[in-house]
Amino acid sequence: MADFANGTTSEDLAAQHRERFIRDLILLEFGREVVELDQLRGGINAFVYKLKIAAVDSLHGRAKARVQRGASPLPDGATLLVLRLSNPASGLNEMIRVQNEVAVMSLIREALAPLNPCLVPALYGWASGKQGWTLCECLVGDPLGDKFEALDDKAKRIIIAQIALIFKSIRQFRLPSSVQGYGGLGFAEDGSIVTGPTVIAGGGPCDTHSALYAEYLATQRGLSEKCDIVQGWIGTDIPARIEKLAREKFTGSCEWEQHLRPTLVHADFDIHNMLFNPKTLQITGLLDYDLGHIGSQADEYMYSLSSLGFLVLPPIKDNEDLRLQREFLLHGIEHERLINRPQTIINWKVALMVDEEFSKAGVERPRDIQAMEEIATRYWVTQNVSPPIFSLERSRKYSLDKLQQMKVGEQRELENGLEALGY
């Protein structure tokens, strides 16, 4: 929609409103003036801005100290900052997203402190509500995702070895006693971090991992009925198959539950959320904690490491590379069988490096986790019941033909998953 008087679009007006909000926020809450403001890439889960603010001097005095859970005072000398504003079109639970993000940052910062205390940006303030926001330190470094592919194999291995140690530190972190069971994270009245609802479609807190997945499935079934593209999969046998699956496999606990443990999950752990020094090859930052939660040691592999060929995919029959990747991750395949395959969808050389460096670091790989295949298949079935892509604003710009093609692909993937689970 446009302002016909000057050609300004509704998107332009929204951007102008966000910029005014940011300038007022920094002045009112921190007593500093925004000198420069640039929007960074992103905008799906949040709008991200890089700010340059005035230094503390005789004209810009020190603001009243803020006391907030998970935050530290804004240093007088800090002039470069990153501010994230909630995006109402994210499809996430915005009532809890920011608090969850802050709690996840707090735990991951603690988990990585022995390895490198500077990997997680310092947080200087935050707010939930209709217009949620976080104000963070602007870490130094180049986006790793932009430059990784151009690095030589030796440099890639140096970086992957660091990724293995960071990954291991998060997974092995001992959760505080206040965090019980599975779900999202938040703060109790006494300031302790506790388990709560997840920001993604689902539920929590739950006592067991099986219960969390049962809530995921129930939520997704409801969403599929509201989705005008999926329409609850009416006209197919999918609803009946899902009903039987929910009744027979998603109630009660499973025998392999005893092998799972509540584990801190970043849920977007990948090179596009990392910064590095291109001269020293040192990783300098880990970013984006929106989707973090408490899952099992299996869950990170269904959200993360896609760029490195280590995301466990759903059962796939019509693509040999993707089928082989799933088999490789879940069961192991001799590296010699894969190293010379064409580098098409999967960069096998990188995936094998990750496998080797994770093994050296003592990281539990997918094939080392009890019932990994069953858990991954359950996860992807729940996702495909109501594919998240159809709830995103950008999908509304696609043609009907494009949406129908996407629906056919999602249906095929869902049916493959149901078949793999015996339904």
Among candidates 365, 131, 156, 148, which has minimal Cα distance to 273?
A: 148
Residue 1 has pLDDT above 60, yes or no: no
Tokens of 5: 């008087």
Per-residue pLDDT, averaged over 217-237, amounts to 95
pTM, two decimals, is: 0.94
pLDDT confidence bin for 253, thresholds 50/70/90: confident
Answer yes or no: is pLDDT of 59 > 90: no
Mean predicted confidence (pLDDT) in 222-244: 96
State what percent of residues in the chain have pLDDT above 70: 96
Q: Mean pLDDT, the chain, as a whole number? A: 93
- pLDDT (tens digit per residue) in 126-152: 999 879 999 999 999 999 999 999 999
Q: How confident is residue 4, by pLDDT bands cut at 50, 70 and 90?
A: very low
Q: Mean pLDDT across the stretch 165-194?
A: 97
Do residues 359 and 365 make contact, with C-beta atoms less than 8 angstroms apart?
yes
User: Measured between alpha carbons, how far is 73 from 67 in angstroms, rounded to an integer?
Assistant: 8
> Pairing between strand 133-137 and 123-127?
antiparallel
Segment 321-364, tens digit of pLDDT: 999 999 999 999 999 889 888 878 899 999 999 999 999 999 99
Per-residue pLDDT at 214 exceeds 70: yes
More confident of the two residues 387 and 63? 387
pLDDT for 320 beyond 80:
yes
Domains of the chain: 16-55+65-139 (3.30.200.20), 143-421 (3.90.1200.10)
- Between 396 and 421, whose confidence is greater? 421
